[in-house]
Amino acid sequence: MTRKPVIRYTASPTLARFHQSRAMYRGVLGPVGSGKSTACCMEILSRALRQTPGPDGIRRSRWVAVRNTYRELLDTTARTWLDWFSEDLAGPFGKSRMRHVIRAGDMELEVLFRALDTARDVKKLLSLELTGGWINEAREVPRAIVDALGDRVGRYPPLREGGCAWRGVIMDTNPPDDGHWWFKLAEEERPPGWEFFRQPGGLVEKNGEFMRNPLAENTENLEAGYYLSRASGKPPEHVRVYYCAQYGFVTDGQPVFPEYTDTLHCLKEPAKPNPDLDLYVGLDFGLTPAAVFGQRYPNGRWIWLDEIITENMGAARFAEVLGRKLREEYPGYLLRVYGDPAGEQRSQVDERTPYQILAAAGIPARPAPTNDFTIRREAIAQPLSRLVDGLPGLLVSPLCRVTRKGLAGGYCYKRVVSGGGTRCLEKPEKNAMSHPVEAAGYMMTGAGEGMSLLRPGRRGTRQRRAGTEYEPGGGV
């Protein structure tokens, strides 16, 4: 390039503090339209301009910009980037490789754009040597991706070529719900090396009405009445999250369980386990294993008692966590533990299945009789819909926080734009809320719920109903 791009950018008060921080992990949360993504673009450029010169005098840096899907990466993250650093001013954008290299004076900045949606995508980061990373809309990205990205920054340029003047991970997001890793780190744990910045909402709620927030940021770059006009006709939950910048949960698709109503099916107080009844446990495996605990009463009513939610955890560690909970909270119960039939597949690491690992820990788990989605859905939907002595046939303890959110719509058929309209995908979206709900589905089918849908001779109809005593000393 023969000339530098002319960029005029003024940071709002919250974003100015974001730019001043040198924390290795920095996150900014705010409403839509508040300039969060723009601030991250400018932070990348600012750090590149302040990079340590190499032996040849060039300030080199390499960043990766992460979004959860390729379509959103292209339509939002890359578009925001190119709005500021257009090809006319900053050089060609390599769409086939999703790579943009900007050379201006003594600066050479390389930005890679990558879609990373699940913990399995960690391997896509393992070979990268980076200066920094940007996670756009971080609430859609698993914590495992954040941790893996943190391990890859500060590696480019290498010390022999000047090293990094700064390295780290920057993140922006609309508010997640209060069970998300962002909320736990920003509002509860606040670990050293992490800093979080929260912008004021575009709207505030007073006496059930939404009105303009005089403290809202970036309004000079928005049309008049931006937030109020967009809030019109939206559900209150949507307005609170996207325009008021409050932590919360918003359904973005068609719920898998429209039968569930939280005010009807959720108990006001945590339920105590009945020592005279068997304890059922449902398990979902993978890198984010989950467990749900429940009991079936003689009148046919189910009560889901509790849950275990994990992240980036292997089968052996999960067996330890599950075993400890069973020993400490459910000693002496007759256990009926059912899990995903896919758990019978051997691990590539030690050739043991999750069921063998659980058995070694003294936990008598077995595969659910079927992995058929329709049957698993009906195994939950049927008791949700029936009445037992005037109350729902399935009640959920408030301790099942993530499971409840999944039932309330977090586990859903994602809505996508197609042919100028919208439609919902045929398969539910996998996310943090889907794992415990699927675990509960295995528990319910293992107990025989939903099995009436099976036709004679259909594959996967074999049921395993025998229970096994759990020994509190079980080798964990």
Summarize pLDDT for 148-207 with one digit per residue, the tens.
999 999 999 999 888 999 999 999 999 998 888 999 999 999 999 999 999 999 999 999
Ranges assigned E (strand) in 313-450: 334-339, 365-367, 387-388, 391-392, 394-396, 412-418, 421-424
pLDDT at position 226: 96
Neighbouring-strand partners of residue 295: 303
Q: What is the pLDDT of residues 122-164, one digit of tens each?
A: 888 888 999 999 999 999 898 889 999 999 999 999 998 889 9
Mean pLDDT in the chain? 89
- Name the architecture of domain 13-198: 3-Layer(aba) Sandwich (3.40)
pLDDT at position 270: 95
pLDDT at position 138: 96
Radius of gyration of the chain (CA): 25
β 132-136/59-67 pair status: parallel
Using the predicted structure, report yes or no on whether residue 417 has a pLDDT greater than 60: no
Which of 43-52, 272-281, 407-416 shows the lowest per-residue confidence on average (mean pLDDT)? 407-416
Parse the chain into domains and list their residue ranges: 13-198, 203-245, 262-469
- 166 vs 197: CA distance, rounded Å: 19
Using the predicted structure, report yes or no on whether residue 346 has a pLDDT greater than 80: no
| CATH number of the 262-469 domain | 3.30.420.280
pLDDT at position 416: 59
pLDDT class of 370 with cuts at 50, 70, 90: very high
Query: Helix 36-49 crosses helix 13-20 at what angle (to 10 degrees)?
Result: 30
User: Residue 255 burial (CB < 10 Å; 0-12/13-18/19+)?
Assistant: middle
Work out the average pLDDT over 306-311: 94
Q: What is the DSSP letter of 76?
A: I
Q: What is the DSSP string of 241-281?
A: HHTS--------EEES-TT--HHHHB-SSPPPPPTTS-EEE
pLDDT at position 282: 98
The answer to whether the beta carbons of residues 142 and 120 sit under 8 Å apart is: no
pLDDT at position 20: 97
Tokens coding 115? 């879609």
Using the predicted structure, report yes or no on whether residue 458 has a pLDDT greater than 50: no
pLDDT at position 385: 95
pLDDT at position 248: 87
Work out the average pLDDT over 285-306: 95
Work out the average pLDDT over 403-421: 77
pLDDT at position 76: 94
Using the predicted structure, report yes or no on whether residue 473 has a pLDDT greater than 90: no
pLDDT class of 475 with cuts at 50, 70, 90: very low
Using the predicted structure, report yes or no on whether residue 267 has a pLDDT greater than 50: yes
Q: Is the pTM of this model over 0.75?
A: no
Using the predicted structure, report yes or no on whether residue 459 has a pLDDT greater than 50: no
Q: Which of 97-101, 126-130, 347-351, 421-425 has the highest mean pLDDT?
A: 97-101
Work out the average pLDDT over 282-293: 94
pLDDT at position 280: 98
Using the predicted structure, report yes or no on whether residue 348 has a pLDDT greater than 60: no
β 168-173/132-136 pair status: parallel
**Closest Cα partner for 258 from 409, 40, 32?**
409
pLDDT at position 257: 94
Query: What single letter denotes the amino acid at residue 134?
Result: W
pLDDT at position 418: 47
pLDDT at position 414: 77
pLDDT at position 311: 83
Other CB atoms within 10 A of residue 473 CB: 8
Which of 43-57, 63-77, 106-120 shows the lowest per-residue confidence on average (mean pLDDT)? 106-120
pLDDT at position 122: 80
